Amino acid sequence: MAEDVGGDTLGDAPKVKSLPVKKLILLILLPLLLILGGGAGLFLSGLLGGKSDGQQQAEPEPANMPKKGEAGFYTTLSDFILTPRTVEGESRFVMVTISLHLSAQDQNAIVKAGEARMRDAIIVYLNNQPVESLSKPGNIETLRQGIEAEIRRVTPTLNLYSAQITRLRVQ
Q: In this structure, what CATH number is given to the domain that contains residue 95?
A: 3.30.479.30
Under a CB-based contact definition with an 8 Å cutoff, are residues 157 and 110 in contact?
A: yes
Q: Is residue 1 part of a domain?
A: no
Instruction: Note down pLDDT in tens along the chain; length 171 residues.
Output: 555 555 556 666 677 677 677 777 778 888 888 899 888 888 888 777 655 544 445 454 455 555 554 677 888 888 888 888 777 778 888 888 999 988 888 888 888 998 899 999 998 888 888 888 887 888 888 899 999 999 999 998 888 888 888 888 888
Considering the domain architecture, whether residues 95 and 155 belong to the same structural domain is answered as: yes
Q: In this predicted structure, what is the pLDDT of residue 153? A: 92
Q: Classify burial at 72, counting beta carbons within 10 Å of its beta carbon; exposed 0-12, middle 13-18, buried 19 or more.
A: middle
- φ, ψ of residue 26 in degrees (nearest 5): -65, -40
Under a CB-based contact definition with an 8 Å cutoff, are residues 80 and 99 in contact?
A: no
The beta strands (E) that lie in the chain are given as 73-82, 94-102, 160-170
Q: Is residue 132 part of a domain?
A: yes
Q: Is residue 41 part of a domain?
A: yes
CB neighbours of residue 118 within 10 Å: 22
Q: Is residue 21 part of a domain?
A: yes
Q: Classify burial at 73, counting beta carbons within 10 Å of its beta carbon; exposed 0-12, middle 13-18, buried 19 or more.
A: middle
Considering the domain architecture, whether residues 160 and 89 belong to the same structural domain is answered as: yes
Q: Tally the domains of the chain.
A: 2
Global pTM reads 0.57
d(CA 116, CA 107): 16
Q: In this predicted structure, what is the pLDDT of residue 55? A: 47
Q: Is residue 122 part of a domain?
A: yes
CA 101, 102, 106, 108: dihedral to nearest 10 degrees?
A: -50
Structural domain range at position 35: 17-58
